[in-house]
Amino acid sequence: MRTTADLSNPLPLAQALIRRPSITPADAGALGVLEAALEQLGFACRRYPFGEVDNLYARRGSASPCFLFAGHTDVVPPGADADWTRPPFGAEADDGLLWGRGAADMKGAIAAMVAAVDRFLAKAGEPDGSIAFLITGDEEGPAIHGTKAVLVALAEEGERFDHCLVGEPTNPNTLGDTIKSGRRGSLNCRLTVTGRQGHVAYPERAENPIPPLLTLLGRLTARELDTGVPHFQPSNLEVTSVDVGNPTTNVIPAAAVARFNIRFNIAHTGDALSQWIRDEVAKANLDFDGRVEADIHVTGEAFLTPAGAFTTLLQDCVEAETGRRPALTTGGGTSDARFIQLYAPVAEFGLVGATMHQIDERVPVSDIESLTSIYTRILTRYFKDFPA
């Protein structure tokens, strides 16, 4: 018989999750820990395995509106255990801090979500609507077999959500600083220029791939994509690698490769940027007796959840608990919100992310408690202000 746990306190669940070394794509039992807690709260749970990745969807109720909590139990590698002050998967709570990989990003927030549901149900009873969880094991990885794949499957099954809150660690310094109401898009490109190898003393017998690659990179980086748009910082193209792999000094290489990333705002789409790159590649091919190719992958489109009743509700609840009114921002990297925004209005709010992905990742236990209170208040206000 399964033991009934006190789920109103988020700390034990956060510790249980951290003690599962769920380094992408391994689950290591983390979803099982969460599934047991949600089943205790009356959620119907379903697993959605895709490839090497396992995912969990849980729902309590069938009516509208449906409030969706979303997040991930996978974590990045901890590095060398010896470099940590506390064991990375020990989940030690000491001097008011919870230590461990995933404490901030984002097992602490998932535990706060579960505790908030427990407190909300104990106080308010059955909501006039539904609560759901979508938790993936692939956010820190390629993000192909996680939230993106599960959302497609759920849509095919007729599942619908009205609003979503993702528990990413959005606060840079203090709990209550920031709500993410949108994200920039991301495009990765690999440029490959293939020429003809030859001796440097006889360039007429070779076709050097390096000059056309540098010329192409110069044209791409010279363009000012934009100067920023409302709610977004300027888009930027960053060259991340230029590789020839030539160990000699007297040989013209056969090929050269470069990689770059574009983080773009809503002034652009992935398709439009991809077409621009292909056009520049076509121009480079005109004057080169070789081959210039671009392998382009758009990993997420830019999006913005407009300020309105939902974002105001979130700001009000954070301010009521912390005394700080969080700013609505769109900076930083990508998250699974880029997939969810195709299905429902989405925002992100979680713990302070100052130590995420670092050695000695840790968060104040008091912040996990405060986040639980914020999430509880959000559920209470949501089912009052967003009737079916």
139 is a catalytic site residue: yes
Residue for token digits 């001796």? 199
The one catalytic residue in 139, 140, 280, 336 is 139
Q: What is the largest CA-CA distance in the chain?
A: 83
The one catalytic residue in 27, 35, 74, 177 is 74
Query: Active-site residues: which are they?
Result: 74, 139
